[in-house]
Amino acid sequence: MSHFTYKDGALFAENVALRDIAQQFGTPAYVYSKAAFTDNFSAYANACAENRRGDAGALVCYSVKSNSNLAVLNLLSRLGSGFDIVSGGELQRVIAAGGDPRKVIFSGVGKSAEEMRLALAHDILCFNVESVGELHRLNDVAGDVGKQAPVSLRVNPNVDAKTHPYISTGLKENKFGIDFDEAMAAYQLAASLPHLKVVGIDCHIGSQLLDDAPLLEALDKVIELIDRLAAEGIHLHHLDIGGGIGITYANEKPVPIGDYLARLFRKVDQWRAAKHNGAPIQVMFEPGRSIAGNAGILLTEVQYLKHGSTKNFAIVDAAMNDLMRPAMYEAWHGVQPVLQRTGSTKIYDVVGPVCESGDWLARQRELAIEQGDLLAIMSAGAYGMTMASNYNTRGRAVEVMVDGDRVHLIRRREAATELYALESVLP
């Protein structure tokens, strides 16, 4: 996380001291780096530009579910990003942030008719369809509004992403996509329905992949299916290989984005040259964590230090409602003191005030801290605020974006009165 560094013993976000952010905005606070978002997106965009000169091009569609703040979406839109959404609400966020709906792909297994109508009204780029039932519903909805819906089928290639089972999406037992062996029949059905236009194919096998071998294995299976479809007269215009590249939380060494994309484009180009006379096909990606994850931290204050005979606790003001990943996945996040102290350290579990034993943010961390100190929970830019809740009637954290030596408030902290404003008592 090169944009979060120590200077004279104090942790900074770009050129702003985190202790100054805490003093101005309070804690808990999500703090993002504009430069980190820009650099992480550019790793994809630059690799696409280097490898797709003179071809049908490539489109990076940022996965909105990873971090959906309007400022983040607006920044990425200005950088040229498309967007991968999984709900009608996310589409409305993209539009509110100034994103182009014609660069939106709509994924997700449970799209409602209302969401389909909304997406059709805004002429989105493509629906990633995940079941035969969805094909029929989308055809009916498109017919009702007098449109032809562009569709891509999300194909489940039964490739093991070798990641956490909760974020593995490409196996037969997962709820996502259409089974590879059933995909041909589904495509033939889609091609026969009058209000659908088959334009592409989609594959997403999981998240936090450190090695690109499973992704390239899935690509081989998708290529095989595209060739079979072409033999049946179904010609596709784009290939969406999904997202999934991981980030460094502790000591992981994910494959560099540029290396992965170079191998992928080489494979695609060799295939098109050999089987399709060099005919171009657009390639799409759906990265989320690899753009947002290390672009943000969760800033929190130590409320109490509780020393016991078998375990020590650092009780902070952030909790599982602010950052769900440790409780949900037993996920590991680095913890760094905002001000480095000299002297003896102790081993602490970093826990929150929520009334659940599962309310922990980090376990067994060696820290030299005192009550009132600030801690940074690292690598929290993805699936932090988007998974946050109001459990225990806790307002969600403030969000700020650092741009060089400037700090911008991009979401204020929720007040308790706002949490029950939609509720009413019985007469």
426, part of any domain: no
Mean pLDDT computed over every residue of the chain: 93
CA distance 423 to 373: 37
29 lies in the same domain as 175: no
d(CA 99, CA 59) in angstroms, rounded, equals 14
pLDDT per residue over 355-401, tens digit each? 999 999 999 999 999 999 999 999 999 999 999 999 999 999 999 99
Query: Which pLDDT score is estimated for 66?
Result: 97
pLDDT greater than 50 at residue 17: yes
Domain count, the chain: 2
Q: What is residue 53's predicted lDDT score, i.e. its pLDDT?
A: 56
**Can you give the pLDDT at residue 171?**
44
For the stretch 54-77, pLDDT in tens is: 556 899 999 999 999 999 999 999
Q: How many whole angstroms from its chain centre is CA 79? A: 17
State what percent of residues in the chain have pLDDT above 70: 95
Q: 107 with 250, same domain?
A: yes
Is-contact 21 400, C-beta < 8 A? yes
- Alpha-carbon gap, residue 250 to 162, rounded angstroms: 18
**Angstrom distance (rounded) from CA 413 to CA 25:** 9
Domain stop point among 247, 267, 291: 291
If asked whether residues 286 and 362 sit together in one domain, one would say: no
- d(C-alpha 409, C-alpha 402), whole Å: 9
Among the candidates 242, 262, 291, a domain finishes at 291
Q: Clarify whether residues 241 and 219 are in a common domain.
A: yes
> Does 168 lie in the same domain as 119?
yes
Domain with 271 in it: what CATH number? 3.20.20.10
Q: In terms of residues, how long is the chain?
A: 427
Helices (H), 300-405: 325-329
Residues 378 and 309 in one domain: yes
Shared domain for 386 and 267, answered yes or no, is no
* Selected catalytic residue, list 48, 61, 203, 355: 355
- 259-274: average pLDDT: 93
425 lies in some domain = no
Task: Determine contact, residues 237/282, Cβ cutoff 8 Å.
Answer: yes
Q: Could you tell me the CATH number of the domain that includes residue 406?
A: 2.40.37.10
Reported as a pLDDT band with limits 50, 70 and 90, residue 175 is: low
Bridge partners (DSSP) of residue 111 are none
Clarify whether residues 28 and 93 are in a common domain.
Answer: no
Q: Which residues lie closer than 8 Å to 425 by C-beta, 6 or more apart?
A: none
User: Which of residues 291, 310, 342 is at a domain's end?
Assistant: 291
Average pLDDT of the residues in 119-148 = 97
Same domain, yes or no, for 53 and 176?
yes
Give the C-alpha separation, 340 to 47, whole Å: 38
Query: Alpha-carbon distance 242 to 156, whole Å?
Result: 12
Measured between alpha carbons, how far is 149 from 197 in angstroms, rounded to an integer?
A: 6
Domain co-membership, 276 together with 400: no
Residues 200 and 283 in one domain: yes
Inside any domain, residue 131: yes
Among residues 215, 113, 225, 237, the alpha carbon closest in space to that of 178 is found at 225
The confidence band for 162, taking pLDDT boundaries of 50, 70 and 90, is low
| 304 burial type by CB count under 10 A (0-12 exposed, 13-18 middle, 19+ buried) | exposed
pLDDT beyond 70 at 170: no
**Do 258 and 342 share a domain, yes or no?**
no
Q: Is 117 exposed, middle or buried (0-12, 13-18, 19+ CB in 10 A)?
A: middle
- 355 is an active site residue: yes
Note whether residue 424 is domain-resident: no
pLDDT of residue 176: 72
**Is it the case that residue 136 has pLDDT exceeding 90?**
yes
Interval 240-268 mean pLDDT? 93
**Percent residues over pLDDT 90 in the chain:** 86
Contact between 160 and 170 (Cβ < 8 Å): yes
CA–CA gap between residue 201 and residue 204 (Å, rounded): 11
Residue 167 confidence (pLDDT)? 41
State how far the alpha carbon of 70 is from the alpha carbons of 73, 113, 349, in Å.
5, 25, 33
Which residue range is the domain that position 299 belongs to? 4-33+293-419
